Amino acid sequence: MSEPARSASANDRRIVVLVLPSNPTWAPPGRSPEAWRLALAEDTYEVLAALDRVEVAVAVLNGTEASLQEATNLTWPGTPVYTAPTLHQALTQAATLTPAEVGVSTSGTGRVAAVVAVAYDAPDLPGLLIGKLFRALSTADIAVCPAEDGSQVALGVNLPIANWLTDSLELSLDLTLGELDQAKPRRHAVAVGPGWHRLRSPADLASLDPGLEGWDATRSILRHA
């Protein structure tokens, strides 16, 4: 059985990682898949960059030099952009980022206590939901924000990652709640926060609220074929 989650101290660091595929997967009719991928990523990044008391990085899964440069172009100066082959490695690599690399003052030199990975295709995600995941990690090994399609919008873990999460599962934003429930070693090892939606198909566009502020890049792509 895994050890209970540890409470973070005042000096511990929390990192949010935007998880971006190196290649586009789809786009609305008449739109460039590459432009669509980058628009979604830009808007999701802007949500994360506005969060308080967290550090933000971008992990490009199986990234190439070109895709890393594209991701860098979307971010504010100083945001770390790196590549990783899997989500597990993206999360563990985040723990190696120094405070200087993420623009944190030298007073924030504690260990990285928790990392939250966020799917790139949630451009209107309320930042409040990320804060709820970090709070849930005070008692859970993993905290998730489920998507309407059964995948995860965001997934947070304490570091080091609990053994059961890697011994019996492959960490992924496609993990389902059923898979987590089946594998968890104790009742409160998994925390499930409020859900949201991802834009993974044309049908998902109906979930966007035109009256909601933000997601400007995504909105622009939808307005102009």
Give the Å distances, CA to CA, from 100 to 108, 118, 180.
Answer: 10, 22, 35
Give the up-direction half-sphere exposure of residue 47: CA atoms within 13 A in the CB hemisphere.
30
Beta strands in the chain (DSSP E): 13-21, 55-61, 81-84, 112-119, 142-146, 152-158, 190-192
The pLDDT of residue 54 is above 60: yes
- Residue-wise pLDDT for 93-129, tens only, equals 999 987 655 555 444 568 899 999 999 999 999 999 9
Whole-model pTM? 0.92
Spatial contact of 141 and 164, defined as CB atoms under 8 Å apart = yes
What CATH number labels 13-223? Answer: 3.90.550.10
**Based on the number of CB atoms within 10 Å of its own CB, is 202 exposed (0-12), middle (13-18) or buried (19 or more)?**
exposed
pLDDT tens digits along 67-99: 999 999 999 999 999 999 999 999 999 999 876
The better pLDDT of the pair 223, 98 is held by 223
Strand partners, 83: 60
Determine the pLDDT at residue 105: 45
| Confidence class for position 158, pLDDT limits 50, 70, 90 | very high
